[in-house]
Amino acid sequence: MPVSFSIADSSDGARKVVIWVTGDLDADTAHAVRARLAQAQRHAHSDVILDLTSVTSIDSVALTSVVNGAKEMSATGKLRVINPPEPVARMLTEAGLGELFELTPDRPRPDVRDQVGG
């Protein structure tokens, strides 16, 4: 699973760390995501954004990695999970994780038929 990590300064001055994840977030890939969350944690007082737009599924091992990362981060910044696909968002919501990190639902995507005129 490719995991991309970057640091970007926003225009309002706060530092944001963005982690993009694609593919299956599972026992095999959870370690890489957890390592990136730990790396992001070193940037004190940074907001960390975990972009799950391209995640196809998440298992309990990966969910535990995200939860542990969010717990450890709570003293130095906050974790936002953005754009998880509906099944992933449902799993996060059903697990009651809204208090641990901010969950921003999937953005609406334009309907291809609207773009093609039919």
From first to last of the 118 residues of the chain, give the pLDDT tens digit. 455 544 444 445 566 778 888 888 888 888 888 888 888 777 666 778 888 888 888 888 988 888 888 888 877 778 889 998 888 888 888 888 877 888 887 555 444 344 444 4
Instruction: Return the ∠ at Cα 43 (arms to 39 and 44), rounded to 5°.
Output: 130
Q: Rounded to two decimals, what is the model's pTM? A: 0.74
Domains in the chain (CATH in brackets) are: 3-106 (3.30.750.24)
Nearest by Cα to 21 from 10, 8, 36: 36
Per-residue pLDDT, 10: 47
Per-residue pLDDT, 2: 52
Other beta carbons less than 10 A from residue 3's beta carbon: 15
Per-residue pLDDT, 116: 45
Per-residue pLDDT, 118: 46
Per-residue pLDDT, 17: 79
Per-residue pLDDT, 44: 62
Distance from C-alpha of 26 to C-alpha of 46, rounded to nearest angstrom: 26
